[in-house]
Structure 1
Amino acid sequence: MIILVINSGSSSLKYQVRDPDTGERLASGLIERIGDSSHGGPSNHAEALDRVTEELEATLQGKPIDAVGHRVVHGGERFSEPVLINNEIIRAIDRLNPLAPLHNPANVQGIRAIAERWPDMPQVAVFDTAFHRTLPEHAWRYAVPDELYKKYGIRRYGFHGTSFEYVTRHAAQMLGLQAADFTGIVAHLGNGASVTAVQGGRSIDTSMGFTPLEGLVMGTRSGDIDPSILLFLLREGYTEQDLDQLLNRESGLKGLTGHNDMRSIEEEGSPAGMLALDIASYRLAKYIGGYHVAVGGAQALVFTAGIGENAWRFRERVVKRLGALGVFIDDAENQKPGGAAREISTEESAFPVLVVPTDEEAAIAEATAAVVLKK
């Protein structure tokens, strides 16, 4: 079975073609500047898909696509697993737009573009939030009036779930365990970053909340912040749009250093950059300590995603803060170039520290194939 994996953004469309049986990547690409025809971009997602089709015809040389899997950021409370898409499912995803206004509308545009181009093609939605539907109520509830949850759905949802589920399975394999027997802490560290407490293969707590803004210090997002700061800034004349721009696009590492690329910050070595990395590593170490308690004692700490897999200096900063847990890093193993999954802790470490590359596209392809074969 050949699966086209689509990740639609508001102005971009990322794609891969995968064989879920072998894991082989048959094609990949990125269409940018959707809606910016003045700079050569396609006018909409349907036109972007036409370009994808042209590229695939040249690359696949006649191999047919059997199904399309879509990354959908927010599945709300309804979707706890991947689903075969129909009109009712599209409307349900649309209704979740207020919870993910930057992501879900673009995801739906990608789905509709496929339906217009290939009306009989099976499509599957794979939700970033689904892995976290196992959170117990004491973890997903906020201490606000109950009517805010009932009326607006204000609760912790969590994100990066497709990555967490994939990495949990592979970390368990490294330890000789079934996924259902794995208990640990998984840190997905990229420009967006979150950390999840996994107990018995299930998410029981996670740092992102109602939106992907809560939790860790990220590339451009603030992470945890005193809500009163927002009230103060509103009184000072900031608008809702100003605050959204400030917290989502101008904060985090960018707010502290002027740019959000951790490699550049490490290479530059400025005092502001070193302070930013101290703040980010301290925040993550606090979460790891708390989640060690939450899971009743972790079997492993796992780093994944772009920073987690490649930024050895940042991993070192984090793990050196975990001495009270008896966790210690092996410098030589930690400094090896990224790529393969590996253990980077010393023999004396209370539990192993692992680096496990994530592959969300492979996970989406596998999930899509499973749903289509069941129908």
Structure 2
Amino acid sequence: MSPSRVLVLNSGSSSVKYQLLDMRDGSRLATGLVERIGEQTSRLKHTCAAGGGTREQNGPIADHEAALKAVADELERDGLGLDSPELAAIGHRVVHGGMFFTEPTVIDDAVLTEIERLIPVAPLHNPANLTGIRTARALRPDLPQVAVFDTAFHTTMPEAAARYAIDPKVADRYRIRRYGFHGTSHAYVSRETARLLGKAPEEVNVIVLHLGNGASASAVRGGRCVDTSMGLTPLEGLVMGTRSGDLDPAVIFHLARVGGMSMDEIDTLLNKGSGLFGLCGDNDMREIRRRIDEGDEQAKLAFDIYIHRLKKYIGAYCAVLGRVDAVAFTAGVGENAAPVREAAVAGLEGLGLAVDPEANAVRADGPRLISPTGARVAVAVVPTDEELEIAEQTYALVGSKPGSNHGGADE
């Protein structure tokens, strides 16, 4: 029997999330998180599905190499070690693939060089992704390792959607264009929404709303992304937990010239001190709703700004797509915050959008419709599964042509 397991690694600047999946049925054999890497208060939380329960380690983990070795040890304790002949590949989430990587790609030295070359457009993400890849390759140099890119799903956008209205020579020199992010989530959710409607992805036009601490919208026509809200970086678009989303570029000049702020200070303000947190001091939607219920006007204003921006993107993507079959809410806020879903489509009945209050209030694990029976446009809640998407793309690649490189180069 050929190897059927895939280990998915998501390496952040100070964390590593991981899942080991059996691709015969998509089941999780083990999941875990290493956080606060490089600190004295590091923590590893590991769960084994087959009766191993959950174990936790607390104490300093010096770097990503130590973190991945600790993960390997935990998997070994459960008989799921990295040296298992059943392990087919390791799949890595990589945030930015530019226009070079349009599909999942088997990692070699040339791929690493290109990911490194993209660091200037993803300085917060690609370095951590690279560290995880290099460490994993050192632990299993013989094993196929695959990069799955957040940006890849959005490379199908037409130039009219992807280009900014600046001098093309300047844009090309500095790689300035709309790349989009959360691509694995948008791909998975758009496909699952079509399945929920009993149709093939090629038959369905879907607006996907990935609403978590980071938030993005996409317009998906027949299974292909034609527009998305995040741009050169994940800062553009919707109001997020700590990011501003859309902003007049002149605000940056104003803060520098009049406010005397440095570029680093402005970067920190817009990425870490804005959004819901900047507006009301909270980026947890549950806490914001609690404050609203208690009459907190600042929380209500933050919520209203969040919803206003969301409505604008829904309306814009209705125009982009022409025909919309479904609007799908996903990720932490999208899946769990019924008031957000209700408010986002309130007043959009002219576009065929509405939610059934009782269906919207139901908490459930799987995909479900929350629109009234017979609605012109389906409104759905579709839980995302980025790890499964990464694992499936990884396994499809190494299972079909082991060792091959399926990356597309068009620059």
Q: TM-score, normalised by structure 2?
A: 0.89
Alpha-carbon distance between aligned partners in 1 of 2:140 and 2:93, rounded to the nearest angstrom: 18
Say which of 28, 35, 42 aligns to 2:61: 42
**What letter corresponds to residue 4 of structure 1 in structure 2?**
L
**Aligned positions of 1:3-82 closer than 5 A:** 3-37=6-40, 40-61=59-80, 64-82=86-104
**What letter corresponds to residue 125 of structure 1 in structure 2?**
A
Q: 1:61–1:140: structure 2 CA closer, same or farther, 3 Å change rule?
A: closer
- How far apart are 1:59 and its partner, in Å? 2.7
**What letter corresponds to residue 357 of structure 1 in structure 2?**
P
**What letter corresponds to residue 66 of structure 2 in structure 1?**
E
Alpha-carbon distance between aligned partners in 1 of 2:354 and 2:306, rounded to the nearest angstrom: 19
Q: Could you tell which deviates more after superposition, 51-60 or 185-194? A: 51-60
- How far apart are 1:121 and its partner, in Å? 1.4
Say which of 246, 249, 256 aligns to 2:279: 256
Q: Where does residue 211 of structure 1 map in the other structure?
A: 233
- How far apart are 1:65 and its partner, in Å? 2.3
**What letter corresponds to residue 135 of structure 1 in structure 2?**
M
**What letter corresponds to residue 102 of structure 1 in structure 2?**
L
Q: Where does residue 152 of structure 1 map in the other structure?
A: 174
Q: Where does residue 320 of structure 1 map in the other structure?
A: 346
1:341 aligns with 2:362: no
Q: Considering only aligned residues, what root-mean-square deviation do their CA atoms show, in Å?
A: 1.2
Say which of 122, 144, 165 aligns to 2:187: 165
**What letter corresponds to residue 215 of structure 2 in structure 1?**
A
Alpha-carbon distance between aligned partners in 2 of 1:61 and 1:7, rounded to the nearest angstrom: 19
Question: How many matched pairs?
Answer: 375
Q: Secondary structure at the match of 1:16?
A: strand
Q: Could you tell which deviates more after superposition, 57-66 or 262-271? A: 57-66
Alpha-carbon distance between aligned partners in 2 of 1:334 and 1:92, rounded to the nearest angstrom: 44
* Contiguous gaps of at least 5 residues in structure 2: 43-58, 403-411
**What letter corresponds to residue 133 of structure 2 in structure 1?**
I
Q: TM-score, normalised by structure 1?
A: 0.98
Percent identity of paired positions between Structure 1 and Structure 2: 52
Alpha-carbon distance between aligned partners in 2 of 1:180 and 1:350, rounded to the nearest angstrom: 19
Alpha-carbon distance between aligned partners in 1 of 2:297 and 2:77, rounded to the nearest angstrom: 50
Alpha-carbon distance between aligned partners in 2 of 1:38 and 1:359, rounded to the nearest angstrom: 29
Q: Deviations over 1:51-95 (max 9, x none)?
A: 101111123456542210000000001000000001111111010
Q: Is contact 1:166–1:358 with CA below 8 Å preserved after alignment? A: yes
Q: Where does residue 288 of structure 2 map in the other structure?
A: 265
Q: Secondary structure at the match of 2:213?
A: coil
Alpha-carbon distance between aligned partners in 2 of 1:103 and 1:331, rounded to the nearest angstrom: 39
1:274 aligns with 2:300: yes
Q: 1:60–1:281: structure 2 CA closer, same or farther, 3 Å change rule?
A: farther
**What letter corresponds to residue 227 of structure 1 in structure 2?**
P
Q: Is contact 1:195–1:206 with CA below 8 Å preserved after alignment? A: yes
Q: Where does residue 52 of structure 2 map in the other structure?
A: none
Q: Is contact 1:257–1:276 with CA below 8 Å preserved after alignment? A: yes
Alpha-carbon distance between aligned partners in 1 of 2:317 and 2:203, rounded to the nearest angstrom: 17
Q: Is contact 1:84–1:124 with CA below 8 Å preserved after alignment? A: yes
Alpha-carbon distance between aligned partners in 2 of 1:59 and 1:265, rounded to the nearest angstrom: 41
Alpha-carbon distance between aligned partners in 2 of 1:288 and 1:3, rounded to the nearest angstrom: 36
Alpha-carbon distance between aligned partners in 2 of 1:20 and 1:343, rounded to the nearest angstrom: 28
Q: Could you tell which deviates more after superposition, 134-143 or 272-281? A: 272-281
- How far apart are 1:323 and its partner, in Å? 2.2
Q: Could you tell which deviates more after superposition, 347-356 or 183-192? A: 347-356
Alpha-carbon distance between aligned partners in 2 of 1:59 and 1:359, rounded to the nearest angstrom: 24
1:363 aligns with 2:363: no
Q: Where does residue 122 of structure 1 map in the other structure?
A: 144
- How far apart are 1:20 and its partner, in Å? 2.2
Q: Secondary structure at the match of 2:90?
A: strand
Alpha-carbon distance between aligned partners in 1 of 2:271 and 2:280, rounded to the nearest angstrom: 15
* Contiguous gaps of at least 5 residues in structure 1: none
Q: Where does residue 106 of structure 2 map in the other structure?
A: 84
Alpha-carbon distance between aligned partners in 2 of 1:155 and 1:48, rounded to the nearest angstrom: 35
- How far apart are 1:182 and its partner, in Å? 1.6
1:300 aligns with 2:357: no
Q: Deviations over 1:125-159 (max 9, x none)?
A: 00000000000000001011112222100000000
Q: Is contact 1:70–1:111 with CA below 8 Å preserved after alignment? A: yes
Say which of 241, 247, 250 aligns to 2:270: 247
Q: Where does residue 332 of structure 1 map in the other structure?
A: 358
Q: Could you tell which deviates more after superposition, 186-195 or 262-271? A: 262-271
**Aligned positions of 1:225-240 closer than 5 A:** 225-235=247-257, 236-240=259-263
Q: Deviations over 1:88-140 (max 9, x none)?
A: 11111010001110000000000000111111111000000000000000000
Alpha-carbon distance between aligned partners in 2 of 1:322 and 1:289, rounded to the nearest angstrom: 8
Q: Secondary structure at the match of 2:253?
A: helix
**Aligned positions of 1:164-203 closer than 5 A:** 164-203=186-225
- How far apart are 1:347 and its partner, in Å? 2.2
Q: Secondary structure at the match of 1:222?
A: coil
Q: 1:345–1:38: structure 2 CA closer, same or farther, 3 Å change rule?
A: closer
Q: Could you tell which deviates more after superposition, 103-112 or 174-183? A: 174-183
Q: Secondary structure at the match of 2:185?
A: helix
**What letter corresponds to residue 8 of structure 2 in structure 1?**
V
Please state which structure has a larger fraction of its residues in helix: 1
